[in-house]
Structure 1
Amino acid sequence: MPAERASSSSRHALPSALLLAAVLAACNSEKAAAPPPQPQIQVSVVTLHPQPVAITAELPGRVSASLIAEIRPQVNGIIKSRLFREGSEVKTGDVLYEIDPSPYQAALDSAVAAQHKAEAAVANAQVRADRYRELLQRNAGSKQDADDAAATLGQAQADVAAAKANVEAARINLAYTKVTAPIDGRIDKSALTQGALVTANQAAVLTTIRKLDPINVDVTQSSTNLLKFRSDIASGRLKFTGPNVAVKLKLDTGDAYAQSGKLEFAEANINETTGTFSVRAEFPNPERLLLPGMFVRAEIQEGIAENNFLLPQRAVGRNTKGEATAKFVSAEGKVEERVLVTRRNIGNNWLVDSGVKDGERIIVEGGQLVRPGQTVTANEVSVDEATGELKSANRRAELPAGNTAKN
């Protein structure tokens, strides 16, 4: 009997052991089949801080000379010579043309002779008037003769004054035979050559002088922008930079002009057709790089926006509603997505004055690989302000193998 009980116990224990072995084997199989934990996605971030931002307006403009002088003759005559080199720089008072002075020299000589004759008549009339006045005092002459002599003297003196005026007029006309430059500047080509007949104050110009240093740039601003600018100043969103507003230029080639200018004035009326007004800036032009008629773009500093944030444009996208959105990494390493209100672009950045806090980290690369609430590894990088590109040494190494992305 005991042997039979032992045999029966063995038969019952064997299935239990087999079942336990099967369960352990299944557990080990499940552990072996479980996938390894995925590494966190790495993203590139930039830490944001508030800062004062210079608000500028880039406006189209045209270059114009600061002074323009159209040269015309002031006397009639034949051009005897041209005394300047076309396209050269001239100074005030330089002789440009010489008109044949012969008739004007003769007129001056005649006027001088007439003056001498009038002065001689004054001397004779003076002696005659003195004699009659003396006779009248001795009751040896009539008062009528004395009055006539005094009148003759007065007439002779008036003739002298007229003769002097004629001499001065003749001298001025003779001086006008030398056509001089009224301003400093660069002179254009000559419209007439030696031997040409000119008349006083003719419609056709002989040549034109333009002052190129300093030089003006006339830009056009919309009345809408003017009203918005004044509203921002009144609300405190902009701090006015003062009357000496700096202006910079960008040439038609895309290059920046080396010299900075200053705002001179703005027109006091709005064009009824275009709704714009003109603003004039003055620039140094020592190398004569800027020429009248040249197209440029002027960057005018309107004011300073205090405590604003600049968000890299590469970090900002659009949702289906067209709203600006950006992804941030929280202090816990989780992704957050927000809708932002961008005011304007500043270079390769968006200007934002709300919805962002100091020290927050915005994702500038790898943002399309993550979703809100996901935990990520954030790598701090910097952005080149000029190009908008990241300055990190190896941007691809920051992403998991097989993931390459561009925002």
Structure 2
Amino acid sequence: MTGNKAVAYKGPGKVELIDIDYPTFELKDGPGVNPANVGRAVNHGVILKTVATNICGSDQHMVRGRTTAPPDLVLGHEITGEVVEVGRDVEFIKVGDLCSVPFNIACGRCRNCKERKTGICLNVNPDRPGSAYGYVDMGGWVGGQANYVLVPYADWNLLKFPDKDRAMEKILDLAMLSDIFPTGFHGAVSAGVGVGSTVYVAGAGPVGLAAATSAHLLGAAVVIVGDLNEDRLARARSFGCETVDLTKGGPAEQIEQILGVPEVDCGVDAVGFEARGHGHGKDAEEAPATVLNSLMDITAAGGALGIPGLYVTGDPGGIDEAAKKGALSLSLGTGWAKSLSFTTGQCPVMKYNRQLMMAILNDRVNIAKNVNAKAITLEEAPQGYAEFDAGAATKYVLNPNGYLS
């Protein structure tokens, strides 16, 4: 039996490399697995040997203890891999194929999947619509920060790269197709970004930088990125963004210095529920509604907000009882008065990943450079998590099987 090591959540602030079972074509009981999913046959799945699997800010929320994730939950929903086994019902994906795995698990059969709403598939999570690998309350599908991982509904879920050698030349870029590049792109698209748009992206983490990259790809005239972290702002400036340093005050006055008016056409929230108030330096207190409220203030009437930043229904570390249930003090009246539209929820990765793959393969975009992707070993994952949590302007890409140089 082939060995399988994985990165697991052990408790607030702690991840460890553990030994887990090699995948089979059946969902077994384990940390976070919904009892209704135990024993579920996955003959429509494949087993991947992991090529790249990234550390995500959404993982970091769990590792900080800000969700109800159980100990020993295997992490990792950003997966790229090579097929080493196929289930008996898989028809089109073959052993040896190199593929990107959308972080949303989708069946391809339900009403939502047929309407391209793959982030809210009805058949993969008994608790609620929508699922993901290695994530709390998502059905219990084992995460991909491991040597090997099971991918269900493989013919539907996997994006096969057309040429393996060509793909390996750009593998760090292609590794971003599983989540952050489509997620950032979805944030920009749902904010209405187009040719000539002025755009404000709240948050200069990897998703925010991916949203800014996407805004440029969509033809924006000016892309402004705001954050409290100067290293991350410098990363945004490195590919042509204007920046707003929120340690020096709110975004409106700084946007006015850039554009001549204190508003933008399109706003993107790439921060989520662990947002902090601006103007108070690096020790700014948590204020979970501050980004959404400031975006409503600075987005022009009739505009739109794309909200790829994560919001949860259960946050043990919330600042008050309301926040612990995901209830925020939103100035919805501002949004209503300005006729703003809002798009929230998981990005439906399959809606965008093939187009973004083609942009990467044909040198239209350098997403790995823009987010400062860095390959590290599986054993270095705890250090990568710690550095990312401390604010490193880096997208850590785990390299479990030595595919990455």
TM interval, short-chain normalised: under 0.3
Q: Which structure ranks higher in relative contact order (CA pairs < 8 Å, sequence separation ≥ 6)?
A: 1
Greater fraction strand: 1
Larger radius of gyration between Structure 1 and Structure 2: 1
**TM-score, normalising length: structure 1:** 0.19
